[in-house]
Structure 1
């Protein structure tokens, strides 16, 4: 056997050769004669030089492809995409009247506002969240805004059985499912070395990742049947590594990659729009999340340390932009728009983003305790007054 063959193949080769010698040299089956000659058994093997050439070839192909995409495809396709977006997509915008939309995490924040935006367009709604009374209040408001019918399902989508029942009850009630909005999420903001209860942070993956995947799994056959759409509320944090949010960033990155992969698998059967918002008014930006001790609580000081001088957008503005993108069939919706160049920097010059993050979140002692730079600037300038009014009076729905 060839000297360069991997060791694990030697035993296999010799066993095959011995078996061939022991077999009949000639076996006849009708007019077909099979000749087995053990001494002539040969296995083509690739030595190390061949493999290096093979890898080099692929490397050259990928680099040339990347160069063609950057130098040719992007410059040529950009104006075409702009023309399509300006003149073609408005003519093909989806009519949502009578469509059935299932929204998870619908009791507050982005999920609540998306319910209202869909209601204004005449869609029927199925709303899922853990807080029943808050969910019923959202349902009543959605009916007032024009939704023909609203189904309420109190449940926890991080539980696969409850996700299954939410989808089944929606289809049983309305007879179909056109859109699934996977929106349920939870936040955390603390440095990794400040965590005192590491196991509590598994909840972030349970809610942010599996809480999207479970309802998607059960809804996908119905979405394929209706040629519907799947909308997932990820985050700019899934593309930009921001300090103090390691667990949250990881859960959103996993979510983002899952749905990008799913898009390649389902093709045109189901449209997938991924929302990657930045800081937007919600219970998250009110400070609700998993604290370093592992408890879910509201901590405005931790919120201010995280957001710092970054602006917080109005949830209504985000959802108007999001629904427009959903109806157009856009692959991604990023808002506020300032996060688009940040994503580009993260891709092309990650060291710059790393420096910015270190500088913004580096803590220093103050009269109020240790504060990162962003929070010190926020407090010194009174920039907190620019927060949306809902963040200045952070009432959290508890029922």
Structure 2
């Protein structure tokens, strides 16, 4: 180890503690002032143009209703056409002046360009892009026979959010708009047997934090980390992996209210329910304990049995919700 690195190893922890002790109280006071300012300057959504992907069900559906109640006009995007019109009709009845529906697969770059273009062509501009579409697969890596099978999780969850964002950025810069990303608490507190989903959500969080640094001067960003929310997707995931049932599920409607309120305040992060945040310090401070608890709860053997079973290779094992 070079002298420079030795010096940093010795001095940086001490310097960090000194800086934290000096700045913590002033920073908390600054946060309080900023919070009060946000409460005074809550964004008025009347007439704002909002694109919501994955809006035919789940959190996306409830987000459509919450934006509608606040007077936004909506572009609802989903791969499933059957419930999309019903959501649009209800959004109009709740107060949205105008709603269009677009059937699109967010994992296809051309579809993402199309739903952005159709929205702007119809409304003339756009103000919010809500990247909500997602999919999940419950499977361990060692049980995966076809390694390409989990690829769609990343294609929908990560690339689907990135494609739409790419084409929305020029329009959002002009309107000083916002990008909302529905990630997951599992993006920073991963649970067993959801590795593909965990990784895709961690990728979303890291990418959009980077993008916020690069574009934060022009576009607002809110990264949402829900816990287990009562949606069809979550219910199917819990049915596929029984150990997940120990986690209580929260209301999708209340989650949507918390998200839109946070977005209108200009919050960088929204976590719902709030207690989900407690997982992060536990993982950082007590990683060995967390690993042990996960093995206990999920009944993971400490020694390999040598008997690999493919639990989720059927078509139904891949759970999608857009």
Same fold (TM over 0.5): yes
Q: In structure 1, what is the Cα distance between the partners aligned to 2:261 and 2:15?
A: 33
- Cα RMSD between the aligned structures? 2.2
1:141 to 1:363, Cα distance in 2 relative to 1, 3 A: same
Structure 2 match to 1:198: 147
* Deviation by residue 1:171-195 (Cα, 9 ceiling, x = unmatched): 1111111000000100122333233
Write the distance in 1 (CA, Å) between the matches of 2:79 and 2:15. Answer: 48
Find the counterpart in structure 1 of residue 232 from structure 2.
283
CA distance in 2: counterparts of 1:79 and 1:352, whole angstroms? 34
Question: Highest Rg: 1 or 2?
Answer: 1
Match of 1:232 in 2: 181
> Is the alpha carbon distance of 1:133 and 1:74 closer, same or farther for their aligned partners in structure 2, counting shifts above 3 Å?
same
* Distance change in 2, residues 1:62/1:176 (3 Å): farther
Residues 157, 215 of structure 1: 8 Å contact kept: yes
**For residues 144 and 357 of structure 1, do their structure 2 counterparts lie closer, same or farther at Cα, with a shift above 3 Å needed?**
same
SS at match of 1:280: coil
Structure 1 unaligned regions, length at least 5? 1-48, 289-299, 365-395
Contact 2:134/2:321, CA 8 A, preserved across alignment:
no
Larger RCO: Structure 1 or Structure 2 (Cα < 8 Å, ≥ 6 residues apart)?
Answer: 2
2:244 corresponds in structure 1 to 307
Residues in 2 aligned to 1:82 and 1:348: alpha-carbon distance in whole angstroms:
27
Cα distance in 2 for partners of 1:65, 1:224 equals 39
Output the CA distance in 2 between the equivalents of 1:157 and 1:237.
Answer: 21
Confirm or deny that 1:334 pairs with 2:271. yes
**Cα gap change, 1:69 to 1:302, in 2 (>3 Å):** farther
Verify the 8 A CA contact 2:52 2:130 in the aligned structure 1: yes
Partner of 2:257: 320
Instruction: Map 1:1-399 to 2 at 5 A.
Output: 52-56=2-6, 59=9, 62-64=12-14, 66-85=16-35, 87-287=36-236, 301-303=239-241, 305-362=242-299
2:136–2:320 CA contact under 8 A, matched in 1: no
What is the aligned length?
305
Q: Deviations over 1:266-295 (max 9, x none)?
A: 12211100000010011221215xxxxxxx
Deviation beyond 3 Å, 4+ runs, structure 1:
53-66, 396-399
State how far apart, in whole Å, the 2-side matches of 1:161 and 1:54 are. Answer: 50
CA distance, structure 1, for counterparts of residue 11 and residue 178 of structure 2: 35
| TM-score, length basis structure 1 | 0.72
State the distance in 1 between where 2:321 and 2:109 align. 24
Deviation at 1:346, TM superposition (A): 1.8
Native 8 Å contact 1:239 1:346 kept in 2 = no
When residues 328 and 198 of structure 1 are mapped into structure 2, their CA distance, relative to the original with a 3 A threshold, is same
Unaligned runs of 5+ in 2: 302-318
